[in-house]
Structure 1
Amino acid sequence: MSEKLSFVHPTANSPWGTYLQQVDRVVPYLGDLAKWAETLKRPKRALIVDVPIEMDDGRIAHFEGYRVQHNMSRGPGKGGVRFHPDVTLEEVMALSAWMTVKTAAVNLPYGGAKGGIRVDPKKLSQKELEKITRRYTSEIGIIIGPHTDIPAPDVNTNGQIMAWMMDTYSMNTGGTSTGVVTGKPLHLGGSLGRVKATGRGVFVTGREAARRLGLDLRGARIAVQGFGNVGSVAAELFVEAGAKIVAVQDHTGTIVNVNGLDLEKLIPISRTAAGCVAFEGGDVVPNEQFWDVPCDILIPAALEGQITAERAKRTTARLVLEGANGPTVPSADDILAERGVLVVPDVICNAGGVTVSYFEWVQDFSSFFWDEDEINVRLDRIMMNALNQIWDTADKHKITLRTATYAVACERILMARQERGLYP
């Protein structure tokens, strides 16, 4: 007899609640493997750590950190670490579960994991940021490692933070261990193509989806929510293909230009503290109006839970490309499907990042590194092969791409679970 998880009580549209509903929807397509489905609803391991550091003014401050390993039936845990003031255990659980599905969807030999610290990194000095990173790494060091769980950058983390994590783990284990994290600087074992990989994956899957819809990218109008590495890189690639970016929303606000925003000028400004709203080549509008901007393609590349049922009714997009993790709540998914809007789900659409992370991990073990052209060719091939298999599954069962992605991924996960058996 199964019992519900006792340490978190998700609501329907919370990240973990959304994930659980997604799993429930795929169970009818799992056949005999459905008896193992409860495995998908329970993280293997959840670690909560206290992260005390001495601040620059001499105060001792405490922060709460997490590392969740959702499922490792197919290989070591893989997933990013985010620094954000709204990080919670439930959110990290959901993100780790989506990583399990994502790595299986593109058939990488990984399980899913995720980590985070509840902190606003913008309020920390560089020295404080280093301290919190190193202390957190020391605290979770008991469960991470190049063969067990490999962190990577996520929201508000980057190559420098990965370098500190790698160094801390290496000092604690007595030898340089480049494979313990991915997304590192190049001269510390990082991979070419990693920074732009997630955005490139969004473009590659979006280009194929547009082709199947008969949507010509030349002149296509695109709205992008979130303009970091994922959103901005995807936007650049779509513009190169002939599309135009008509709306961008970041943490500072929303700008619109129906004739297309000049990315060459916008991107450098978006990297400053002033953000997108400081760009003079577009009109600043209230954030909620972002969802009303006439567009053909919508790219939510910010945080989870952004496309609600009400917003799903308003968008004019024919195609939604989920650059973020979990941006669409289940009720909105249903509305978009009813309206004939195609959604390329996060667990395949933004899998470019983890795919090149896998390339980095492999290169670190072999100490042999590939050039960027080879990495992009390998990335495109893996993404296209995965998407085509998922599309065939969707057509066969007459289901959405999201349910098809879960069907393909969960079959792989649960087959591994079944074949490994239960020990002891």
Structure 2
Amino acid sequence: MKENKIERIHSDSAMTCTLCMQEMEILYDHLAMSTEEIDLLDMPKRSFTVHFPVRMDSGRMKMFVGHRVQYNDARGPTKGGIRYHPDLTIEYLQDLAFLMSIKCALVDIPFGGAKGGIVTNTKELSRGELERVTRAYIREIADYIGPLKDIPAPDVYTDEQIMVWILDEFERIKREHTPSIVTGKPIELGGSQVRKYSTSLGGVYILEAAMKKLELDKSSLCVAIQGFGKVGLNAARILYENGFTICAVSDSSGGIFKEEGLDIMEVIDHKYKTGSVIDFPETRNITNEELLATDCEILIPAALSKQIKRENVNDIKAKIILELANAPVTMDASRILLDRSVIIVPDILANAGGVVVSYFEWIQNLSQDYWEEDKVLERLQQKMITAFDKVYEICMEQDCSMRRAALQFSVRRILYAERLRGNL
């Protein structure tokens, strides 16, 4: 097979490659895919780079570079985040857009995958400069995005305010209201209920479905969560409210442990007041490495990639690992854990709740019919559990990892759509 994404990302030291991408070449062989099928999956439909000047606060003009990749649209318009990062490359965005295609197919929403962004360090920009850079980028790509073409969303170092600027600039260009051009907006401008914690909630739905299959009782389980940012904090809160015992949590400064269980609402309050979870009363401070090795049944990495690796995999005691972070378990560690019958719920499934609710936001914008929270919750749960059941069924039938099953299921869905269109 020719040089492809798998080999390319290994040489991209500026970014972290994902476990899913590492497994794709193995999957190609496993599915006995034809050259035509591999070529179709291995190449983005469209990727482009734009260069544009922006006037800085100093009065001088500065050139910026922006990218957008629209990977595959066989199942619908492309969908994917916009990230701002000084080391951003179009090759890396192609890999991320491919994985977004996989994720959308996995949870059966009618989108293909996309990713884009601007090569910049947001910490070096004032708020005014950040807005001008965002608007200039949208002016350059406006002809290539749209509610039925390509729908952006927040990603690394972008947020709902940046999505508002994107919405406003696009509407100025098109001279019409188009709320469905972007997702991740404030509710007041067409955003969806549940969006702010959808990634965490989707992961909880998946965890509960896995426990049901395994006939596990949450009352007797201990949960440890690495990462107490937006995703980890909300996961801890939802689990705690649902009766789970959270025995350990951590953030970038360190973690805390209490065998009897933490009062997560008080931990959240402590985090907001002090900036960290450490030194919470009546708990023992631990390191992030110690958290991973906690004597728990469920481990939820919700922070950085490559946290569980060959060097520490033998310290892992959990029976279920829910990957809310992107690629927190390396390939070597994953194989060792699977040999020990540890269940790893892969990131492309575990953290797909965000794109599902983005899809719901898009539907509501198109129809101008906005849903109550209960309806969003019900439909999110249905989407997540249906995807889990499909993956688990393949996993059991073929005695393979859940990651392999998820990738296989998604790839087949995309290829079937291409075949129906006459492209294969």
One-letter code aligned to 1:301: A
- Range 338-347 or range 269-278, more displaced: 269-278
Contact 1:203–1:234 (CA<8 Å) still a contact in 2?
Answer: yes
Query: Partners in 1 of 2:251 and 2:138 — Cα distance?
Result: 29
1:288 paired residue number: 289
One-letter code aligned to 2:135: R
Query: Partners in 2 of 1:149 and 1:27 — Cα distance?
Result: 27
Query: Partners in 1 of 2:85 and 2:284 — Cα distance?
Result: 29
Query: Partners in 2 of 1:66 and 1:272 — Cα distance?
Result: 39
One-letter code aligned to 2:126: S
Residue by residue over 1:156-195, the C-alpha shift from the partner in whole angstroms, topping out at 9 and shown as x without a partner, is 3222221111111111222221111111111211111111
Structure 1 unaligned spans of 5+: none
Does residue 131 (structure 1) correspond to residue 121 (structure 2)? The answer is no
2:237 paired residue number: 236
One-letter code aligned to 2:186: P
Deviation at residue 4 of structure 1 after TM alignment: 2.7
Does residue 80 (structure 1) correspond to residue 61 (structure 2)? The answer is no
Does residue 11 (structure 1) correspond to residue 20 (structure 2)? The answer is no
- C-alpha change, 1:291 and 1:91, in structure 2 (3 Å) is farther
Query: Partners in 1 of 2:230 and 2:84 — Cα distance?
Result: 16
2:192 paired residue number: 191
Partner-residue secondary structure (3-state), 2:228: coil
2:343 paired residue number: 342
Contact 1:98–1:325 (CA<8 Å) still a contact in 2?
Answer: no
Does residue 418 (structure 1) correspond to residue 424 (structure 2)? The answer is no
Q: How does 1:322-361 map to 2 (within 5 A)?
A: 322-361=323-362
One-letter code aligned to 1:214: E
Query: Partners in 1 of 2:270 and 2:67 — Cα distance?
Result: 33
- C-alpha change, 1:7 and 1:104, in structure 2 (3 Å) is closer
Q: How does 1:132-281 map to 2 (within 5 A)?
A: 132-270=133-271, 274-277=275-278, 279=280
Partner-residue secondary structure (3-state), 2:197: helix
Query: Partners in 1 of 2:248 and 2:35 — Cα distance?
Result: 43
Deviation at residue 281 of structure 1 after TM alignment: 6.0
Query: Partners in 1 of 2:6 and 2:225 — Cα distance?
Result: 36
Query: Partners in 1 of 2:237 and 2:155 — Cα distance?
Result: 20
Query: Partners in 2 of 1:365 and 1:402 — Cα distance?
Result: 33
Contact 2:394–2:405 (CA<8 Å) still a contact in 1?
Answer: yes
One-letter code aligned to 1:162: M
Residue by residue over 1:74-98, the C-alpha shift from the partner in whole angstroms, topping out at 9 and shown as x without a partner, is 1111112233455444443332222
Contact 1:47–1:140 (CA<8 Å) still a contact in 2?
Answer: no
Partner-residue secondary structure (3-state), 1:239: helix
2:370 paired residue number: 369
- C-alpha change, 1:7 and 1:346, in structure 2 (3 Å) is closer
- C-alpha change, 1:279 and 1:44, in structure 2 (3 Å) is farther
- C-alpha change, 1:97 and 1:270, in structure 2 (3 Å) is farther
Q: How does 1:46-61 map to 2 (within 5 A)?
A: 46-50=47-51, 52-58=53-59, 60-61=61-62
- C-alpha change, 1:379 and 1:74, in structure 2 (3 Å) is same
Contact 2:88–2:118 (CA<8 Å) still a contact in 1?
Answer: yes
1:403 paired residue number: 404
Query: Partners in 2 of 1:235 and 1:91 — Cα distance?
Result: 31
Percent of paired sites with the same residue: 39
One-letter code aligned to 2:389: N
Contact 1:269–1:278 (CA<8 Å) still a contact in 2?
Answer: no
- C-alpha change, 1:24 and 1:128, in structure 2 (3 Å) is same
Contact 1:179–1:364 (CA<8 Å) still a contact in 2?
Answer: yes
Residue by residue over 1:205-233, the C-alpha shift from the partner in whole angstroms, topping out at 9 and shown as x without a partner, is 00111222333222422222232332222
CA RMSD across the alignment: 2.9
Structure 2 unaligned spans of 5+: none
1:383 paired residue number: 384
Partner-residue secondary structure (3-state), 2:8: coil
Deviation at residue 265 of structure 1 after TM alignment: 2.6
TM-score relative to the length of structure 1 = 0.89
- Range 124-133 or range 314-323, more displaced: 124-133
2:306 paired residue number: 305
Contact 1:261–1:281 (CA<8 Å) still a contact in 2?
Answer: no
Deviation at residue 15 of structure 1 after TM alignment: 4.6
Query: Partners in 2 of 1:383 and 1:309 — Cα distance?
Result: 30
Contact 1:36–1:418 (CA<8 Å) still a contact in 2?
Answer: no
Contact 1:53–1:135 (CA<8 Å) still a contact in 2?
Answer: yes
Deviation at residue 237 of structure 1 after TM alignment: 1.6
Contact 1:15–1:91 (CA<8 Å) still a contact in 2?
Answer: no
One-letter code aligned to 1:11: H
